[in-house]
Structure 1
Amino acid sequence: MTNPLSDLPQIQSLLSQPLIAALASRYSHAETVEALRGVIDALRKALLNGHEGTLPEFEGQAFAAEIEARIEAARTPSLRPVINATGIIIHTNLGRARLAPQALAQMQAVASGASTLEYNLETGKRGSRHDHVEALICELTGAEAAVVVNNCAAAVMLSLVATASGRTVVASRGELVEIGGAFRLPDVIAQSGAVLREVGTTNKTRLSDYEGAIDAETAVLLKSHTSNFRIVGFTAAPDRRDLARLAQERGVILMEDLGSGVLIDLAPFGLVDEPVVSDILKAGVDLVMFSGDKLLGGPQAGIIAGRADIVAALRSHPLMRAVRIDKLSLAALEATLRLYRPPHDPLQDVPVLRALFEPIEMVRARAARLIEELRPLGLRVAEAEDCAAYVGGGTLPGQDLPSVAVAVAHGTLSAEALAARLRHAATPVIGRIERQRVLLDMRTVSDDELPRVAAALREIAAG
């Protein structure tokens, strides 16, 4: 019996064919070889698994086109834009906050040439990258001083290493959170070189618990805002002002890890349980750490604000260089912070906040426009469907937002297959599946993204 594997050509013989040789010349020898190996390996695997069939015409145009398609696919950037139609505004897996045009422009301006990253134009000497945003952060939060690192976990780590290494950190059991990627606050404390002392219970911690735990080895009382979960029912926690007085009386530092952190009060708009940074500092907390890329609406960053003497110790600590913010994130953060100052209105100018508070009528109108685009395509499109959107990013758990989705189904494709086709569109569209339909939530789709959503569905409908 003839071994079907013997009909598979050698890579070298394929490279000698004119169409394949042209590809190697147009792209590169290495890329062409890699694509050829991918195709031959797939054919070999199919044959070994008993899937006998007609082998392709290795000298034909169709085979060369497949090789070229593989090369182009390999050249496609892995980190690429997508359209978030999930209804989760700050989607951790999809890049969190959408940046404002001003932030994008500032990043491009700084990236395209030299910049004043660590150069003082007044003195003509070396400057500090932290100076670009410190005054803005202090103005918006009321802090004495501020410094920025590459993310909030780094902010917590640096703060603890610089103030509590070799000493004790007192924290409530109910606040020992785990954030995304299985990073746990107790592990961060341990890595800082500090010793964790847990107080209270999961649902109740009293001021007396903290008071009884403080001794000569205590350096920090650490509060953590439980922004990604909620404990309800029989609960208790001391007021920040009482904790601040206790910390001052006993000569220890009171820190708070907000996780997210907002600069304006969201309660009047129906989103409660997210404390404002300035209010926390007014309550007497010595140091607060919060993110730049969640409800603040900027790039990934960890912002540390509070007492000037503590911030100075953080600035000069050797770990600072390992966790410092890069110039592009710094440029975007500065531009975003400026949107919180007059004449700007952050509720309109910061995309995350605009998406949170956009009137439902505008979301519904966007859904209607998409439905009109889809009607001629032959897809089964439901009418606009009321649904719930979410803030995401580990913030405001259990609080949803009114939204409107467009439900789409295909005549022959399953909902899973349709969602997969949307993920492989020229600009991938990421929705969610409910009741065998793909739901495209219009609260997280912007007006300028609608044509690309329609184009992706148009291509799928055309077969």
Structure 2
Amino acid sequence: MSHLFRCLPSVDVCLTALLERAPELHAQPRPLLREAVTAYWDGQRADIRAGRVTEPEQLALDAHLPLLLAHVRAALRSRLRPVINATGVVVHTNMGRSVLAPEACEAVLRAAQGYSTLELDLRTGGRGSRHALVEELICRLTGAEAAMTVNNNAAAVLLVLDTFCRGGEVVVSRGELVEIGGSFRIPEVMAKSGATLREVGATNRTHLRDYAAAINEQTRALMRVHTSNYRIVGFHSAVPLEELVALARRHDLPVFEDLGSGSLTDFSACGLPNEPTVPSVLAAGADIVTFSGDKVLGGPQAGIIAGSRERIAALKANQLTRALRCDKLTLAALEATLRLYCEPERARERIPTLRMIFLPPEALARSARRLASRLRRVLGDACRIRLREDVSRVGGGAFPQYDLPTTLVCLEPAVCSAVELRRRLLDGDPPLVGRLDEQGFCLDPRTLCEHDHARVAALLRAALTERIEP
């Protein structure tokens, strides 16, 4: 066994061979290259100890070089990698939620490449406020008196409760105590803020009298949480916002609304229910509304807070605000996204999230036919391909009960199972993620751009022939 260990090529010899074979590796940090090579040969050492390698010829570098190169490339890939989303879930949390508009991507690049006016007041040359970068736009689009941003909507809720409700009670309907992705729950967020949750009503029905009975000297606010990621149907009732506001005014209390996946758009044109928009909630009298920037708004991850001038000023003065603030890249992307909303039709064309949601069924059917035709030419007998009418989802916790009509491209591979095809595609570069069901592996054109089709075909061809690219 010891003589086999001595036959293992040195790391330096391997590095020389790799760099000759793949010159692009010169750009990689040398310590990471060495670690990747060492890890590969550690696997061979394990094979020697297990008796799977018994001859020196089995350890020749020339024989291992293709596999070694594939191992090194895989090890050095960025952990945050592009993915082709063929699931049809538009706002896919696992894949980064909303895709940014080209204008937002350009704004991020400009902000990243040099210095910026993040907190520079050009009138005085002194320090300015990063909140001012997007506040005017948010107010213009929502009708709010003032606004600010933090790093996500959970942070927005935390900041509001910490500022106005610490040490007191917040009255919330029992049916609105939502849990969002990653097991984050509204009650736990409230507890972290130092506020005490006062549940009222039943899971399925809450009445105005329930809120009124809960108000006492410890009450700091009435709060509504929009149940964007689930629905209670059947024997159900909730208090309209206008009635809740009227009750709050009689007791000199504020009303806060957490919209979650807040929207500036009426989606009823594509068959989705007319969910409450941020402007409508503020117009109904809510003192503060919080919502996400990276869900159906179609921007970067951010928590947006809009409301009265006095209350936003108090939020900005909270010391917790500094810990929750957005960086320059987020603000650059958010500003560019909000600018597009100044022209609603342009927003629907340029913001990928909106464009994908509003895609009509007939356009998706045409796209599915084109993709299927390309795949039949490329894959031949390796895969049976057919079309099937089905549905897409908005995702991100928005419109959980409602479907968007689509046409799927369904693949039934001849050389492996659909489960195995899925595994191989996840190992691809870039990974291709689709749907797996009892009828095969399916691709939804809603979340695929036309320019993705050629790459999808190439990835499927490689996966079905198990080729390892040199």
CA distance in 2, matches of 1:20, 1:106: 39
- TM (normalized to structure 1)? 0.93
Secondary structure at the counterpart of residue 382 of structure 1: strand
- TM (normalized to structure 2)? 0.92
Stretch of structure 1 that moved more, 338-347 or 301-310 = 338-347
Deviation per residue, 1:179-205 (Å, 9 max, x gap):
000001000000000111111110111
1:384 to 384, 387, 402: 387
Task: Say if 2:342 is the partner of 1:346.
Answer: no
Q: How does 1:248-263 map to 2 (within 5 A)?
A: 248-263=249-264
Question: What letter corresponds to residue 9 of structure 1 in structure 2?
Answer: F
Task: Say if 2:392 is the partner of 1:408.
Answer: no
Aligned partner of 1:15 in structure 2 is 10
Aligned partner of 2:23 in structure 1 is none
Question: What letter corresponds to residue 452 of structure 1 in structure 2?
Answer: R
CA distance in 1, matches of 2:11, 2:336: 55
Question: What letter corresponds to residue 425 of structure 1 in structure 2?
Answer: G
Secondary structure at the counterpart of residue 411 of structure 2: strand
What's the offset of the Cα at 1:374? 1.4
Stretch of structure 1 that moved more, 58-67 or 168-177 = 58-67
CA distance in 2, matches of 1:29, 1:22: 14
CA distance in 2, matches of 1:106, 1:359: 30
Q: How does 1:149-188 map to 2 (within 5 A)?
A: 149-188=150-189
Distance 1:224 1:68, change over 3 A: same
Deviation per residue, 1:383-440 (Å, 9 max, x gap):
2211110011011111001011111122221111111221222221100112252101
Checking the alignment, whether the CA contact within 8 Å between 1:110 and 1:331 is kept in structure 2 is yes
Secondary structure at the counterpart of residue 443 of structure 1: helix
Question: What letter corresponds to residue 419 of structure 1 in structure 2?
Answer: R
Checking the alignment, whether the CA contact within 8 Å between 1:8 and 1:40 is kept in structure 2 is no
CA distance in 1, matches of 2:117, 2:261: 29
Distance 1:144 1:433, change over 3 A: same
Runs of 5+ consecutive residues of structure 2 not aligned to the other structure:
21-25
CA distance in 2, matches of 1:410, 1:452: 18
Question: What letter corresponds to residue 443 of structure 1 in structure 2?
Answer: R
Task: Say if 2:422 is the partner of 1:423.
Answer: no
What's the offset of the Cα at 1:66? 2.9
Distance 1:285 1:28, change over 3 A: closer
CA distance in 2, matches of 1:235, 1:420: 43
What's the offset of the Cα at 1:48? 6.0
Checking the alignment, whether the CA contact within 8 Å between 1:288 and 1:306 is kept in structure 2 is yes
Checking the alignment, whether the CA contact within 8 Å between 1:427 and 1:452 is kept in structure 2 is no
Deviation per residue, 1:356-403 (Å, 9 max, x gap):
111112111111111221123223232221111001101111100101
Checking the alignment, whether the CA contact within 8 Å between 1:99 and 1:350 is kept in structure 2 is yes
Task: Say if 2:234 is the partner of 1:238.
Answer: no
What's the offset of the Cα at 1:163? 0.6
What's the offset of the Cα at 1:9? 1.4
Task: Say if 2:99 is the partner of 1:98.
Answer: yes
Aligned partner of 1:282 in structure 2 is 283
Stretch of structure 1 that moved more, 80-89 or 342-351 = 342-351
What's the offset of the Cα at 1:70? 2.3
CA distance in 1, matches of 2:57, 2:71: 16
Question: What letter corresponds to residue 14 of structure 1 in structure 2?
Answer: P
CA distance in 2, matches of 1:328, 1:319: 21
Secondary structure at the counterpart of residue 255 of structure 1: strand
Deviation per residue, 1:229-249 (Å, 9 max, x gap):
000111111110111111111
Checking the alignment, whether the CA contact within 8 Å between 2:11 and 2:38 is kept in structure 1 is no
CA distance in 1, matches of 2:11, 2:356: 56
CA distance in 1, matches of 2:396, 2:334: 18
Checking the alignment, whether the CA contact within 8 Å between 1:273 and 1:396 is kept in structure 2 is no
Stretch of structure 1 that moved more, 320-329 or 376-385 = 376-385
Stretch of structure 1 that moved more, 52-61 or 272-281 = 52-61
Distance 1:269 1:30, change over 3 A: closer
2:444 to 438, 441, 453: 441
CA distance in 2, matches of 1:419, 1:207: 51
Deviation per residue, 1:433-458 (Å, 9 max, x gap):
12252101111111121121112123
What's the offset of the Cα at 1:14? 2.8
CA distance in 1, matches of 2:134, 2:227: 27
Checking the alignment, whether the CA contact within 8 Å between 2:200 and 2:211 is kept in structure 1 is yes
Stretch of structure 1 that moved more, 263-272 or 114-123 = 263-272
Runs of 5+ consecutive residues of structure 1 not aligned to the other structure:
none
Question: What letter corresponds to residue 373 of structure 2 in structure 1?
Answer: E
Checking the alignment, whether the CA contact within 8 Å between 1:83 and 1:429 is kept in structure 2 is yes
Secondary structure at the counterpart of residue 170 of structure 1: strand
Aligned partner of 1:295 in structure 2 is 296
Checking the alignment, whether the CA contact within 8 Å between 2:408 and 2:444 is kept in structure 1 is yes
Question: What letter corresponds to residue 85 of structure 2 in structure 1?
Answer: N
Checking the alignment, whether the CA contact within 8 Å between 1:406 and 1:440 is kept in structure 2 is yes
CA distance in 2, matches of 1:363, 1:52: 53
Deviation per residue, 1:199-219 (Å, 9 max, x gap):
111011111111111111111
Checking the alignment, whether the CA contact within 8 Å between 1:224 and 1:256 is kept in structure 2 is yes
Checking the alignment, whether the CA contact within 8 Å between 2:270 and 2:360 is kept in structure 1 is no
Secondary structure at the counterpart of residue 188 of structure 2: helix
Stretch of structure 1 that moved more, 205-214 or 378-387 = 378-387
Checking the alignment, whether the CA contact within 8 Å between 2:386 and 2:411 is kept in structure 1 is no
Aligned partner of 2:208 in structure 1 is 207
What's the offset of the Cα at 1:46? 4.8
Stretch of structure 1 that moved more, 406-415 or 88-97 = 406-415
What's the offset of the Cα at 1:461? 4.0
Question: What letter corresponds to residue 450 of structure 1 in structure 2?
Answer: H
Checking the alignment, whether the CA contact within 8 Å between 2:266 and 2:274 is kept in structure 1 is no
Question: What letter corresponds to residue 297 of structure 2 in structure 1?
Answer: L
CA distance in 2, matches of 1:87, 1:55: 51
Aligned partner of 1:143 in structure 2 is 144
Secondary structure at the counterpart of residue 296 of structure 1: coil
CA distance in 2, matches of 1:102, 1:34: 39
Name the one with the larger helix percent: 2
Instruction: Indicate the percent of aligned positions where both proteins have the same amino acid.
Output: 46
CA distance in 2, matches of 1:32, 1:109: 32
Secondary structure at the counterpart of residue 401 of structure 2: strand
Aligned partner of 2:360 in structure 1 is 359
Distance 1:211 1:426, change over 3 A: same
